[in-house]
Amino acid sequence: MTPDWIAVDWGTSNLRVWAMGPDGIQDQAQSEDGMGRLARDQFEPALLALIAPWLGAGVVPVMACGMVGSRQGWHEAPYRAVPCAPLDAGEGVSVPVQDRRITLRIAPGLKQVSPADVMRGEETQIAGAMALGAQDGVICLPGTHSKWAQISAGEVVSFQTFMTGEMFALMSEQSVLRHGMAGDGFDEAAFDTALSDALSRPEKIAARLFALRAEGLIAGLPACTARARLSGLLIGIELAAARPYWLGQAVTLVGAPAISALYARALAAQGLTAQVMRATDCTLAGLTQAMRLETSQ
């Protein structure tokens, strides 16, 4: 059954596609053909490799979001400047394709001039979260590059990116700290203590990191404690710098379940109950919203 349209989430590392029909998802597929590993002429074949089984005689519209629209992607979709709605009618960028069975649009990312910031893909998740019921307030999207976005009257008013996830990966897998990080388990009490310490004394962060290695060497610090403390310290300095975004605000977390749970725990320790939504649900709801905006024109 040919889908009504195809939803595409195309990030740096992964490509995910959904065949969408009148009753929602008909089928889905994914590959590791992320933007980061493709040359410009490899994008259309990578997409067709996943969606060709769904195509028939007609023309199926495809709506994509994410790094596929970056300057190094398939086709640049220039950033829209905040304050603005996360997605808007007529803003999807039409991309020329070879295959006549599809048309393609890419949802543009957002930019903030000062302080300088950018997002690609998260704008679609934010629109999806709003479509799924997120109220005005703040949406936090934890991950490799965590984003905090202030939402008012349906618009993204301001946002701020933190490299927390990428720093955790670099420090736990590539720095000298990696020696004491291998293994399973997660010491929640150590996470809580490190988070509290980093939040209350963020100016000490540079003095806290090497101690994870030193305690491993001279005091037998377990890996599950070291990893949890590193996570708590890094999320703690993110929360310290993002304080204006969450203090006294209604916060919605949009992320993968494990990382959202950590952020929810961290916010709960500050007396704040965050609403939690799954990133994938929000992406799909946002792409649906983008499709609706284009066809309603």
C-beta of 142: minimal distance to a copy of itself in Å?
Answer: 13
Chain positions 157 to 196 lying near a copy of itself, rule: CB under 8 A, are 160-164, 166-167, 170-171, 174-177
Q: Which residue's CB is nearer to a copy of itself, number 16 or number 213?
A: 213
Check binding of 117 to a copy of itself (CB under 8 A): yes
Cis peptide before 108 (omega within 30 of 0): no
**Cα–Cα distance between 47 and 15 in angstroms, integer?**
8
Smallest gap, in angstroms, from Cβ of residue 72 to a copy of itself? 9
Question: For a copy of itself, which is the closer residue by CB, 55 or 167?
Answer: 167
What is the C-alpha separation between 262 and 234, in angstroms, rounded? 12
Among 1, 153, 206, 258, binds a copy of itself (CB under 8 A): 206
On whether the CB atoms of residues 110 and 86 are closer than 8 A, the answer is yes
Identify the helix (H) or strand (E) that includes residue 228: helix 223-241
Binding mask 242-271 for a copy of itself (x = CB under 8 A): x-----------------------------
Q: Among 69, 126, 151, 111, which Cα is nearest to 286's?
A: 126
Cis, peptide link before residue 115, omega less than 30° from 0 = yes
- Nearer to a copy of itself by Cβ, of 32 and 173: the residue is 173
Report how far residue 95's alpha carbon sits from residue 106's, in angstroms, rounded to the nearest whole number: 7
Asked whether the beta carbons of 67 and 11 are under 8 A apart, the reply is yes
Single out the residue of 210, 247, 256, 273 in contact with a copy of itself (rule: CB under 8 A): 210
Residue 126 near residue 255 (C-beta atoms within 8 A): no
Q: How far apart are CA 30 and CA 10, in angstroms?
A: 10
* Residue nearer to a copy of itself on the CB measure, 111 or 292: 111
Q: How far is the CB of 79 from a copy of itself (least distance, A)?
A: 7
The phi and psi torsions of 115 (rounded to 5 degrees) equal -65, 140
Q: Give the shortest CB-207-to-a copy of itself separation in angstroms.
A: 4
Pick between residue 105 and residue 120 the one whose CB is nearest to a copy of itself.
120
Nearest to 152 by CA among 80, 244, 81, 82: 82
- Three-class SS of residue 267? helix
Q: Decide: is 204 part of the binding site for a copy of itself (CB under 8 A).
A: yes
Least distance CB 164 / a copy of itself (angstroms)? 7
Interaction site with a copy of itself (CB under 8 A): 71, 79, 111-113, 115-118, 145, 160-164, 166-167, 170-171, 174-177, 202-207, 209-211, 213-215, 217-219, 234, 237-238, 240-242
